[in-house]
Amino acid sequence: MRVTIIPDDGFVSVDGEGFLDIDLSSMPANIHAVQWYHTEGEVEYRDDRGRATHNEAITDLTPYQPVLELWQRAKDAALAAAALSEESSQNAADPG
């Protein structure tokens, strides 16, 4: 699994499928991004001015499971909206 988390943008991507405006306000303010590459990753840190300070290697994505659950909710909502839109289009095309 490939994951990117960018708290400032509310952006979470899993395997290339990304969503914006996810509430990531619970994440520490000094995290610029989290990158996960299948079995390992890194957390990119920044200072109070937003400048990169250091990266820290990680081998466990579990601390970010709540973020992945928010991503799943965003994906489910997008799929539901797409299905509703498709149903509306079909109903409009077939006035019955």
Q: Domains of the chain: which residue ranges? A: 2-93
Q: Which residues does residue 50 pair with via DSSP β-bridges, in sequence order? A: none
31-73 tens-digit pLDDT: 999 999 999 999 999 999 989 999 999 999 999 999 999 999 9
User: What does each C-alpha distance from 15 to 4, 21, 32, 66 come to in angstroms?
Assistant: 9, 18, 20, 17
7: closest CA among 24, 19, 21? Answer: 24
pTM of the full predicted structure? 0.86
Token pair 């990531």 is at which residue? 24
Helix, strand, coil share (%) of the chain residues, nearest 5? 35, 35, 30
